[in-house]
Structure 1
Amino acid sequence: MEYVKQLSLKKTIMFYLLIALTISFFTSAWIVSTAERVQYNVWFQYIDKEKYDDLVIQDEKENGVSVDIPRPSSYVMSDTDHFISETCDFLTTWTPLILSTLCSGLAVVVFYNKKLKTPIKILEDSSHEIACNNLDFQIKYDYEDEMGRLCTSFEHMRDQLQINNKYMWKMIEEQKNLKAAIAHDLRSPLAILKGYHEMLIEFIPQDKIDKEKLNEMILSCDRQTDRLLLFIDKMRQLSSLEDRKVDYEEVNTVELIKQLKATADILADPKNIEIEISSKSGIPSSFQADLAVIYEVYENLISNAIRYAAKKIVISIMFTNSMLQIKVCDDGTGFKTDNNDLITNAYYHDNSADDLNHFGLGLYISKILCEKHGGKICIEKDLNIGASVKAEFLIH
């Protein structure tokens, strides 16, 4: 029966109907044959047996066939024999139709119970769960017929809804964190500007502030204003990330490595940090990727590494399973946590002193760009080194 379970709905209903009609055919033939014999036995009681025997002998000699027993008049037969004869007439006339209808109906019922009832119940229950915003379940139906494929498609839809739902809640949570972080990052420069403003209002009219101090306060206000303008630019960059598309182009691997080395040397030169870059053997000579995305993520990783490195930064370039991997390691203090999601959140800082140095958006922007390029950002914790961040990009 396992073979029948895997048949399509069309083949299954034809199979059940064929069995039902075969059973009804042979059963009808047996009932009709039995009814005719019973009816002939009843009629035989009301004929002239000697005359009938002569007719049978004569007909067999002439034609080679037997003579049918003639139907006696209903007035001649007893009530019981007449009822039996009429019942036999009914059976011989209607048995094939009645049995074929009943067997076909039974075949349809069996077909429904075997092939439709369970998957329909599964789909109804699943629809109810989805309508109640519950996506934490699994739609499982083992048959490979049309209903099995429908249940599989429904499971794919549920799974995608769950992914989209989680993504939506993640975006809502990130928006909440972003708003809180914006308020936090705006508060510091605004508080400094307000403090200087109050001091100027209080001391300038009384001529209690010297020119050197005044110049220092003006320069500090200018720095805080630049910080606010930079913050606005970062916010504009964040808002455009969701609409950014990945444009694949031909990338020469050797030229890419040269550019990455040159970029790291230029950025690290002011702090006199040593740069070491290496690539694994067996790398392709060229590949398809969005070079602008790779450079932007790389610059964010290098900038973070330079900020915390003591003396040296090691850069590794690898190609594995259609993925370009760029790993940047520094010899600084490393991250205080190994929570990948926390570190790549917007406005994440390891300590409060970082608030005045940078906004904590580099890894967050890099994470979004890597995901758009089919990859991800991985934070690796190693006791022998400082921070280790790996960016992955899907390439063709």
Structure 2
Amino acid sequence: MEKMKNLSLKMTIILYMAIALAVSAVIGFALTNCAVNVQEDVWFKYINKEEYIQSVKNENGNNYLTTIPRIRSKYMSEEDVFIVEICDIVETWGNLTISFLSCTIAVFLFFRQKLRTPLRMLSEASSRISENDLTFEITYEKEDEMGRLCKNFEKMRKELINNKKKLWSMFEDERTLRSAIAHDIRTPITLVKGNLEIVNEFFPLHKLSDKKVIEIINKTIQHTEHLEHFVDMMKYLNSIVDIEPEYETLTYKTLGTKVYEVQRQLCEKNKIEFKYEHNDIDCMLNVDSVFVIEVEENLLTNALRYANNRILVSLGIVGDYLVLIIEDDGPGFKENPQKYLQSYCKCKKEEDGDVHYGLGLYISKSLCVAHGGELRLENLEYGGARAIAKFEVNK
């Protein structure tokens, strides 16, 4: 019964039509025979019975079936003429009519069993989607073509929900980012304005020494550089939303050399002990090395900001992914690590009060996602932080 339930639409309609034609053939045969018998019974009333009985016997006395001759209408009563004509109609059109009715019933049953429910569900679903309502679920148990169509429709609905969540998340990030920009630009602008007001008010009165004026000018330059850097980061962040990787084919060893050189240069510049680990393999990769190096630089810059003495970089292949891992021996993340992947996360290093905006981590996450991978942050068990960047390389 389960196999019958899950038959394909093509096999189901063939089965229904075959049954309908078989049933119509049996009924038509029976009806035609019945009409012939009724006609012969009517005609039998108008023939010479003795001659007929004699005609069906041969010289040896054996009996044979003999067709009763058709009687002309003028020799029969009106009632018998009517009956004979009805039987003629049944013989001529009966099989065709019964076949048509049987096929019609078969099509109706096929529609009711195989099409009505899924079409209704899909129609309701499309109407609700057009109304921007995704709070429903399409459940259809049969494994035929309509069942697969309903599953694909349900998959599309879930994908629409995910896209809607992503879009809403992007909207929220953008709104937060704009609010953050307005807040953080206001602070250095206020400081610059305050410094200029001090100079404007006291310098003409010779109440400021040259040393103090130079100090105010230097602070103003720092604030403007801070603003310039922040604006540049905002421009880069906006441009990275639509960036696409430009794949190239290169060896794992070649990419590993590039990764090592970036680590060596940054760590030696910051006088931090470093270690590089990699798989002892050599294979061809389909990868955008610029993406990988950009992510490494951002993650290393973040790690160098908090590392005490040591940084570890690991590069390997796991399945279809290139995996870049960067660990530091700093204090680790004080809050949920994934929070630092948001487009705006204001972070502060308590020892020197240095404030930065976490945009490097967000940019790294965007590059990983664009490359078919992901970026994950976590705290190490014995202190320190770990960043795991994945890039799909075998597309």
With structure 1 as the length reference, what TM-score do the two structures score?
Answer: 0.89
Find the counterpart in structure 2 of residue 335 from structure 1.
333
Between stretches 172-181 and 146-155, larger displacement belongs to: 146-155
d(CA) in 1 for partners of 2:60, 2:202 = 145
Tell me which of 380, 383, 394 is aligned to 1:382. 380
Find the counterpart in structure 1 of residue 94 from structure 2.
95
Find the counterpart in structure 2 of residue 42 from structure 1.
42
Q: How many residues align?
A: 392
d(CA) in 1 for partners of 2:331, 2:95 = 91
Q: What are the superposed Cα offsets for residues 224-260 of structure 1, whole Å, 9 maximum, x if unpaired?
A: 1111111222122112112322112233433433433
Alpha-carbon deviation of 1:221?
0.6
Secondary structure at 2:357's aligned position in 1? coil
Find the counterpart in structure 1 of residue 322 from structure 2.
324
Find the counterpart in structure 2 of residue 234 from structure 1.
233
Find the counterpart in structure 2 of residue 293 from structure 1.
291
d(CA) in 2 for partners of 1:355, 1:118 = 65
Amino acid at match of 1:30: A
1:16-31 matches, within 5 Å, as 16-31=16-31
**For the aligned residues, what is the CA RMSD?**
2.8
d(CA) in 1 for partners of 2:15, 2:97 = 20
Amino acid at match of 1:392: K
d(CA) in 2 for partners of 1:213, 1:77 = 137
Alpha-carbon deviation of 1:18?
2.0
- Give yes or no for contact 1:278–1:316 (8 Å, CA) kept in 2: yes
Q: What are the superposed Cα offsets for residues 317-375 of structure 1, whole Å, 9 maximum, x if unpaired?
A: 221011111111111111112241x2101231344869854232110110101111111
Secondary structure at 2:335's aligned position in 1? coil
| Residue 135 in structure 1 maps to residue 131 in structure 2 | no
Q: Which segments of 5 or more consecutive residues in structure 1 lack a partner in the other structure?
A: none
Alpha-carbon deviation of 1:222?
0.8
Alpha-carbon deviation of 1:306?
0.7
Amino acid at match of 1:35: A
Find the counterpart in structure 1 of residue 305 from structure 2.
307
Alpha-carbon deviation of 1:67?
4.0
Between stretches 344-353 and 241-250, larger displacement belongs to: 344-353
d(CA) in 1 for partners of 2:239, 2:12 = 55
d(CA) in 1 for partners of 2:153, 2:291 = 36
d(CA) in 2 for partners of 1:300, 1:271 = 15
Distance change (3 Å), C-alpha of 1:74 and 1:159: farther
Alpha-carbon deviation of 1:218?
0.2
Amino acid at match of 1:15: L
Alpha-carbon deviation of 1:190?
1.0
Distance change (3 Å), C-alpha of 1:274 and 1:67: closer
Q: Which segments of 5 or more consecutive residues in structure 2 lack a partner in the other structure?
A: none
Tell me which of 341, 344, 348 is aligned to 2:341. 344
- Give yes or no for contact 1:185–1:355 (8 Å, CA) kept in 2: no
d(CA) in 1 for partners of 2:104, 2:269 = 88
Amino acid at match of 2:240: L
Tell me which of 341, 353, 360 is aligned to 1:362. 360
d(CA) in 2 for partners of 1:76, 1:289 = 98
Find the counterpart in structure 2 of residue 169 from structure 1.
168
1:49-198 matches, within 5 Å, as 49-57=49-57, 66-71=66-71, 73=73, 76-77=76-77, 79=79, 84-198=83-197
Find the counterpart in structure 1 of residue 212 from structure 2.
213
Secondary structure at 1:247's aligned position in 2? coil
Alpha-carbon deviation of 1:265?
3.1
Between stretches 369-378 and 44-53, larger displacement belongs to: 44-53
- Give yes or no for contact 1:379–1:389 (8 Å, CA) kept in 2: yes
d(CA) in 2 for partners of 1:383, 1:261 = 26
d(CA) in 2 for partners of 1:106, 1:363 = 66
Amino acid at match of 1:360: G
With structure 2 as the length reference, what TM-score do the two structures score?
Answer: 0.89
Distance change (3 Å), C-alpha of 1:209 and 1:22: same
Alpha-carbon deviation of 1:50?
1.5
